[in-house]
């Protein structure tokens, strides 16, 4: 039920996703035939925790956050899908409802995969199943990491890990004495991803600056001075004053 123009766009983007990139052209057109596209505006809720999970999504463009909400309104971000990543798959395979909320942080394009049709596709095509298993396994690994991080490390260590991780992804040379990384989300959202609040995050950036680990954290740019020091923080071998 998608328009022709959309189908062309989908056909161009499907091959770039982890999930479908390795499929044959025939298989890819089968995918195209079951998906629909959904455009969402900044702030729009894609789905809420507890909604019936009739299918899952793939992020084509824009930015979405997946998060939990506590009774008193505090938020914990579970993850930010990258473009090409799927989200909301859990109820597709285990039934029931979405385990978390999904909200667009800016205008975004999503693909929607209806549950039944997708399961039929998997049954015809084990390699698709393996791709999905790989996707869920990676997520599981990151969640395990997150649990460890929340429980076993203090906020400075979690932030240090995050900065190191970012600097690895960033094209700039991670072994330079001085490296600039660019936060891909507002600091308030980063706080929520790290399991803390903006005030605490702000104070820790300030302490890191005082100790010469970073030069500054202004706007979304963090200038790293002491890579090795950050690594020690992340490993719990060092602590901030």
Work out whether 114 is an interface residue with its own copies (CB under 8 A). Answer: no
Work out whether 80 is an interface residue with DNA (CB under 7 A). Answer: no
What contacts 60, CB < 8 A, 6 or more positions away?
13, 37, 83, 84, 108, 109, 110, 111
Pick the stretch among 24-32, 53-61, 95-103, 200-208 that binds DNA (CB under 7 A): 200-208
Residue 154 site contact among its own copies, DNA, none (CB < 5 to 8 Å, cut-off depends on kind):
DNA
**DSSP letter assigned to residue 173:** -
Q: Are strands 36-40 and 86-87 parallel, antiparallel or unpaired?
A: unpaired
13, 58, 60, 92: which one contacts its own copies (CB under 8 A)?
92
Pick the stretch among 5-13, 37-45, 120-128, 176-184 that binds its own copies (CB under 8 A): 120-128
Residue 82 site contact among DNA, its own copies, none (CB < 5 to 8 Å, cut-off depends on kind):
none
The residue ranges of DSSP E strands in 35-191, in sequence order, are 36-40, 45-47, 55-61, 64-69, 75-79, 86-87, 101-104, 108-114, 179-182
Site string for its own copies, 33-72 (x = CB under 8 A): -----------------------------------x-xxx
19, 23, 58, 78: which one contacts its own copies (CB under 8 A)?
78
Q: Hey, is 239 helix, strand or coil?
A: coil
């Amino acid at each position: 039920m998608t328009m022709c123009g959309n189908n062309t766009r989908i056909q161009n983007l499907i091959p770039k996703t982890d999930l479908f990139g390795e499929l044959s052209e025939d298989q890819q057109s089968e995918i195209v035939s079951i998906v629909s596209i959904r455009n969402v505006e900044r702030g729009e809720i894609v789905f809420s925790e507890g909604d019936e999970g009739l299918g899952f999504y793939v992020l084509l463009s824009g930015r979405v956050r997946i998060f939990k909400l506590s009774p008193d309104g505090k938020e914990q971000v579970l993850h930010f899908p990258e473009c090409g990543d799927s989200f909301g798959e859990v109820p597709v395979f285990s039934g029931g409802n979405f385990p978390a909320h999904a909200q667009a942080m800016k205008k975004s394009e999503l693909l929607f995969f209806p549950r039944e049709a997708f399961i039929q596709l998997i049954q015809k095509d084990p390699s698709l199943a393996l791709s999905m298993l790989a996707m869920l396994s990676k997520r599981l690994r990151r969640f395990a990491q997150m649990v460890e991080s929340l429980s076993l490390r203090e906020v400075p260590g979690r932030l240090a890990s995050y900065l190191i991780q970012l600097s690895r992804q960033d094209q700039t040379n991670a072994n330079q004495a001085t490296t600039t990384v660019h936060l891909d989300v507002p600091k308030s959202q980063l706080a929520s991803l790290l399991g803390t609040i903006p005030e605490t995050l702000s104070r820790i950036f300030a302490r890191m600056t005082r100790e010469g680990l970073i030069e500054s954290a202004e706007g979304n740019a963090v200038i790293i001075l002491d890579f090795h020091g950050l690594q020690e923080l992340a490993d719990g071998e060092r602590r901030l004053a």
